[in-house]
Amino acid sequence: MRFMVMVKATEDSEAGALPTQQLLEDMGKYNEELIKAGVMLAGEGLKPSSKGVRVHFSGSNRTVLDGPFSETKELVAGFWLFECKSLEECIEWVRRCPNPMLGPSDIEIRPLFEPEDFGEEFTPALREQEERIRAIAAGKQ
């Protein structure tokens, strides 16, 4: 099972506060542990929402909204993509994570959809297309 593990933004992260050298070292060790265990598929920190935009969809209309965005607790400051046997295993890995922020913080875990989750709507042709797209994306990395 794959999981998106999201580090929630804080006022400090939205203000652009950078991690300390100690936190960078601790996170580096944690990420190496995840890689060696075959758990971490990807992971990155995100710049504050003031550096980003949102694209709002309404029917065929698209509106681009510049950051920053007001609801800090709803924003993501970083992420990992984990592959674990279960949600419980993913939780155990996240419990081992150094606190990713200077103060209190939250990490949200969400399972990713897998092809079998879509049932009959995900036809053999769509499965083939998905596999082809993933192979092309993997080749670019």
pLDDT tens, 41-65?
999 999 999 999 999 999 999 999 9
**Each residue of 66-88: pLDDT tens digit?**
999 988 778 999 999 999 999 99
pLDDT in tens, 16-34: 999 999 999 999 999 999 9
Nearest-angstrom CA–CA distance, 122 and 126: 6
- The sheet carrying 107-111 orders its strands as 40-45, 76-83, 2-8, 107-111
Domains, the chain, ordered by start = 2-140 (3.30.70.1060)
The pLDDT score that the predictor gives to residue 126 is 94
